[in-house]
Structure 1
Amino acid sequence: MSPRGVAIPDVRERLFAAAERVLAREGPAALTGRAITGEAGCAKGLLHAHFTGLDEFVAELVLDRFARTARQAGELAGRAGRATVAENLVTVALALLTSAGPTVAGLALTRPAAATRVRQALEAGAPGFTAIQDSINAYLGAEQRLGRLADDADTTSLALAVVGTVHHLLMTSWAGAPDPRDQVERLVALLAGAAGADPNRTTAAQELS
């Protein structure tokens, strides 16, 4: 337990990570301010010192995880020409599934006030599915220019298909349902093949290395 009056570094992340552990272990019904701070090993009032209540905390948790995945998706374009198109798409899709996993995303839907906060923040420009879709589209365009994706591939629709599928899986997964990661991997492989992705195509830089 952190001593009273001692500053805790990265307190938001500490509380977020603790909440995710409680959710994974006991489910949404067990998520209370006391459970979160107890799991985090800090004073019971710490959560309310940083958030107005549990609804704001849940909304900020969801938005933080979306933003983290959006940052990772933003790095996709730099991976063009490396690994395979399917592998790179799976990496960002699975990052979204794990960082804003079904339990966390589903939790927000059970709390109307939290869901409203999330929607308002996204509408105001907070990074979310749209930012991730734009980054995937930019990455696919880069692969297209390298010749690792067919010239006539509709990169905008491909990006939407990936993000839309992950969104669906986040909103509809539940305990005992098939592992959504397997479904993502199969879909990405199908989409990459239909778009003419060539896993054996090398770039000029790779040929010179």
Structure 2
Amino acid sequence: MSPRGVVIPDLRERLFAAAERVVAREGAAGLTSRAVTAEADCGKGVLHTHFAGLDEFVAELVLDRFAHSARQAEALDEKVGRATVAENLQSVVLALLGALPPAVVGLALTRPAAALRTREGFQAGAPAFDAIQHAFAAYLKAEQRAGRIAADADTATIALALVGTVHHLLMTRVPGRGEEPETVIGRLLAVLLGGSPPAAP
């Protein structure tokens, strides 16, 4: 255990990652402040020293993961003209699903006070699905200008369909059951980008 009074580097991320492991292993019911600090190998009071309580902690975890996901989506602009449009989008969508595991998203749904704090964070401007959708649309427009997407493709609707599918998978996916996300997203992109020109050799 970390010695009392010693500053722990990246404490927030350490606690967030510990909470994700606890929920993945024990479900939302197993998430307590003591379970998180024990998993993070920290003192029992550390979580309450840095957060007003478990509900604020859960809200901050969800907001942090959405912000991280939005940054991943925004990084698509660095992939314009590289690989294929479908490959670039699929890699980011799968990364989003990895950064927002269903167990974590479900946390806020099972704790009304955490859900309220999360909504307040989004209303205050924290990145959410709209930021991810905007990043998808901007990337698709750039690829369209580059001639890698059909000129008449509805990039805004493609972005909306992708974000809607991500939202659906986050809310309903049960790991190990049903089709793998790679299969679902690959099939969706084949339909959405069916008229796109092939990648440059």
- The answer to whether TM tops 0.5 is yes
The CA deviation string for residues 32-70 of structure 1, in whole angstroms up to 9 with x for no partner, is: 111110000010100001111111111111110110011
Aligned to 2:196: 197
Native 8 Å contact 1:85 1:199 kept in 2: no
User: For this pair of structures, how many residues does the alignment match?
Assistant: 200
**For 1:93-152, what per-residue CA distance to the aligned partner results, in whole angstroms no more than 9, with x for missing partners?**
112211111111111111111111111211221111111100110000000001000001
Residue of structure 2 equivalent to 1:16:
16
- Please list the CA deviations of residues 163-195 of structure 1 after superposition, one character each: whole Å capped at 9, or x if unmatched: 0110111112235532334322321232122xx
**Pair 1:83-2:83 in alignment:** yes
Superposed CA RMSD: 1.3
TM-score, length-normalised on structure 1? 0.91
CA separation in 1, counterparts of 2:176 and 2:7? 41
TM-score, length basis structure 2: 0.94
| Amino acid of the structure 2 residue aligned with 1:149 | I
Aligned partner of residue 193 in structure 2, secondary structure: helix
- SS of the equivalent of 1:139 reads helix
Q: SS of the residue aligned with 1:184?
A: helix
Aligned mates of 1:188, 1:23 — CA distance in 2: 31
Q: Which residue of 2 aligns with 1:206?
A: none
Residue 153 (str. 1) matches residue 153 (str. 2): yes
How far, CA to CA, are the matches of 1:186 and 1:15 in structure 2? 36
Could you tell me which runs of 5 or more consecutive residues in structure 2 were left unpaired when the two chains were aligned: none
Identity level (%): 65
Any stretches of 5+ residues in structure 1 without a counterpart? Answer: 203-209
Query: How far off is 1:201 after superposition?
Result: 3.0
SS in 2 for 1:198: coil
Pair 1:122-2:122 in alignment:
yes
